[in-house]
Amino acid sequence: MSTENTVVSATQLNIEKIRQDFPILHQEVNGRALVYLDNAATTQKPQVVINALTHYYQQDNANIHRGIHTLAERATAAFEETRQAIHQFINSNEPEEIVFTKGTTDGINLVAATFGRANVQEGDEIVISAMEHHSNIVPWQMLCEEKGANLKVIPVNNKGEVELEEYKKLLSERTKLVSVVYVSNSLGTINPVKEIIDLAHEYGAAVLIDGAQSTAYLDIDVQALNCDFYVFSGHKVFGPTGVGALYGKRRHLEKMPPYQGGGEMIRSVSFEKTTYNDIPYKFEAGTPNIADVVALKAAIEYINQIGKANMRAYEEELLAYAHQRLSEIPGIRMVGTAENKMNVISFVFDDIFHFDIGQMLDTRGIAVRTGHHCTEPLMNRLGVEGTVRASLAVYNTKEEIDQLTEGLHRIVTMMRK
């Protein structure tokens, strides 16, 4: 495989070899070969990730940071190697700026409960966009309700793009935090996050970037972005579920109070007073999800082996092909047509309920997502109850797009008889 520094053409990637790395793909669902097109919900796991998970439990299973025996030392080393790998993967200033979490949602809630409670006061403002996942809406609503602060929303246009000029009007000296998604999980829109960050910083506001959909595919450099916080989930970067990471600038993390109390996040405990550990351990209370953290490193190495640029080039080719083929279907209406987007196609048929389409595709072994995709306010803005969403990954093929197209043709023909 090529490295990130050497981009091969999409046609040069050995997709069949890549597909062989993912054992789950080689099965039948409802009597047909599985076509998995729900990657925005979760990506499948290569064998190297599965091996790393089982190796930990078979060879190294022990608690970390506290034991002096060999298993504990091996487990601790593997755990901290993943922190180092994430530090390099997103180019944080230092590994200590990486906090392990349960995932993107947990990371957002951590920031809301610590940085938010410490810095947002009555009358202050938090800014999000109209395309946010519920996990980047509800924690801020809860904080605003608790503090008497105001939640402001950047509008989106009919293509599903944020309106930057309107965003500029929302910013003020009362803006304490801006929290936006890098890539929309329901539309695939790539937001201009660097510009969003720079504008917020002009008013002294901190910025959190939801990187759930972007981290596996876009080149992430948190120092170049200059974001204050960045969160992502392991299960959307070909890694395990139940694990993720929060990046925070050291100056923020050191000032933030602990999120939870317990073991590991303490330096010393007495009944009179507890002193807290240094970052990042201050935010990692209790026995962590060690095995999945260890396996996450294998996922990162797998992405690096293929190369993000190579993955993007191939998925852009797939996305263009999918748009071309799906546009041939009578009555299809694309939802989310941003100029700058990636590996997500959302669509509806005005005369066929999206849920019915998803169920009928499943009978043909084709896995897509239907509904509002945890972006109900966005669906309301775009005037739909929900969409059918096909989301792509590097192991998908044009032949699978053809199968999706054929399946939709058959469904549309049958439903309109």
Active site positions, annotated: 374
Contact 135, 162 (CB under 8 A): no
Bridge-partner residues for 349, per DSSP? 332, 352
d(CA 174, CA 205): 9
Q: Chain centroid to CA 53: how far?
A: 21
Q: What long-range pairs does 370-373 form, CB within 8 A, spacing at least 24? A: 372/186, 373/40, 373/133, 373/185, 373/186, 373/346
In 130-174, where do the E strands start and end?
A: 150-154
Cβ burial of 340 (10 Å; 0-12, 13-18, 19+) is exposed
Contact 318, 141 (CB under 8 A): no
Write out the two tokens for 62: 């022990």
Write out the two tokens for 257: 């109070």
The DSSP H or E segment spanning 110 is helix 104-111
Give DSSP secondary structure letters for 238-275. TS-SS-EEEEE-HHHHHHSPPSS-SSSSEEEE-SS-EE
The closest alpha carbon to 303, from 25, 48, 35, 20, belongs to: 48
d(CA 292, CA 11): 33
Query: What's the one-letter identity of residue 143?
Result: L
**Radius of gyration over alpha carbons of the chain, in Å?**
22
The DSSP H or E segment spanning 206 is strand 206-210
Cβ burial of 7 (10 Å; 0-12, 13-18, 19+) is middle
The DSSP H or E segment spanning 332 is strand 332-335
